[in-house]
Amino acid sequence: MRTWLVWIAVLLGMLALAPARAQEAGDAASAYTIGGIAVDVAAKTPDEARRTAYTLAQRRAWPQLWARMTGTSAASAPHLSDATLESIVAGIEVQGERFSMTRYIATLGVVFDRARASGYFTGIGGALHSEPMLLLPLLHDGGARFVYERKTPWVLAWQRYSQMVSPITYILASGSAGDNILLTAYQTSRPDRPLWRNILNRFRTVDVLVAEAVLTRLYPGGPVDALFIARHGPDSTELGRFKLRAPNQAGLDAMLDAGARGIDAIYSQALQDGRLRSEPDLIAAMEPIASGAPMFDAPERVASAAAIELLVPTPDSAAWTAAEALLRSTPTVAGVTLTSLSIGGSTGVLVQYSESREMLAYQLYLKGMTLAPTSSGLLLRRREPGDPVVTAPVVAPVAPAAAAPAGTATEAPADLPATEAPR
């Protein structure tokens, strides 16, 4: 009976202390996190073993954090006393534990407080931080593929992880109707540069990262295997992969959290190695486009392009796809940029054209379209009976040069016969 009472007292003490520590970790929403630290400590009491394990985990996590944030080796991390480490640690995450009367075995995660720990990295030459990058969490589950079409456990794992600090600046979409149209599973493997430019401009990012998770359930209620692949760029270039296993469905979220940390480690290493680079022609600021600077397609087509903003009726996603294809196939159109997507309404688009505005209207008229003025702007829609006929614009002839004084020789342009005037 006395032994049972001792066990009950120990368990109550552990339960009383664990929630407070977990709460500390949960509140550290902007902390650096180093997970997967295995500890095995023996002591006189389970509480003493647990505290010693926490201290040991902090010592092991600090060099890993240093290496991750500075790009240098873990051995180069400055030595910090246990008291200093305690002051910059926000909490301890218990990712799995077992204990007896004299032994504590666990896998722990150490959450460093960003405000207090970041000062140690100030001015470190090796410290790197990426430009904003659009993250697409692609999940394969049960023969289907999802990104933002629904709120999958993989998306939720990245939403939790995005609260932690990383060398990579991840931008996650909100999952709105427009996001679901643009950011599909098919889009992750579509090397369409013009469309990627539109998407990256919309989210103000410089590159796309595809974090892929492929789930395989061995049998209902049994283990779940996962293959994680880190990709980047319009061509889905693979940077690394690894596998994890959850014992059952209840362990799926913990496994996906570990998968997010693992993929972030791959991206962080690629950033340090110089492999995480954006293609220069994917970065197109909206201001130069509006001013007519060449940004899209071949330079010879856009060197003298002007721009016009149009509204396009888009009752569904297919309507926008058809309108984009029609605009891009119009001879005088030099570039098409999506500025706002409204499924069920009117989508805004910036169109660059290399000739006159009248020629643009004429070329669209030949394709069965018309530019109709509305209170909100110019609307690109299909021609209807009663619409005015658009004729080919008349190109004004170039005035002949003034007669030269008698006795003065004149030269014809090198590319024209001397008897012809320029047309």
98 and 33 in a common domain: yes
| 105-148: pLDDT as tens digits | 999 988 887 667 766 765 554 456 777 889 999 999 988 898 98
What is the C-alpha separation between 194 and 172, in angstroms, rounded?
21
Predicted confidence band of residue 305 (pLDDT cuts 50, 70, 90): low
Residues 236, 195 share a domain: yes
Rounded distance, CA 415 to CA 7, Å? 101
Quick one: pLDDT at residue 422? 41
Task: Please check whether residues 309 and 171 belong to one and the same domain.
Answer: no
In a domain, 416, yes or no: no
Query: How many residues can be counted in the chain?
Result: 423
Other C-beta atoms closer than 10 Å to the C-beta of 396 total 6
Domain boundary among 231, 246, 281: 281
Residue 413 lies in a domain: no
Same domain for 145 and 271? yes
Which of 121, 151, 178 is the last residue in one of the domains? 121
Pairwise pLDDT comparison (80 vs 284), residue with the higher score:
80
Query: Across residues 55-78, what is the average pLDDT?
Result: 84
- Count of domains observed in the chain: 3
User: Of 83-92, 243-252, 305-314, 346-355, which one has max mean pLDDT?
Assistant: 243-252
Least confident of 3-12, 65-74, 357-366: 3-12
Give 311-353 pLDDT, tens digit per residue.
888 887 778 788 888 888 888 888 887 777 666 678 888 888 8
User: How many CB atoms are closer than 10 A to CB 402?
Assistant: 6
Q: Are residues 151 and 269 in the same domain?
A: yes
Tell me if 408 is assigned to some domain: no
Q: What CATH number is associated with residue 254?
A: 3.40.50
Inside any domain, residue 243: yes
Does residue 387 sit within a domain? no
Is the model more confident about 121 or about 257? 257
In terms of pTM, does the model score above 0.85?
A: no
Mean pLDDT score of the chain, rounded to an integer?
Answer: 77
Containing structural domain, residue 314: 284-382
10: nearest Cα among 55, 49, 54: 49
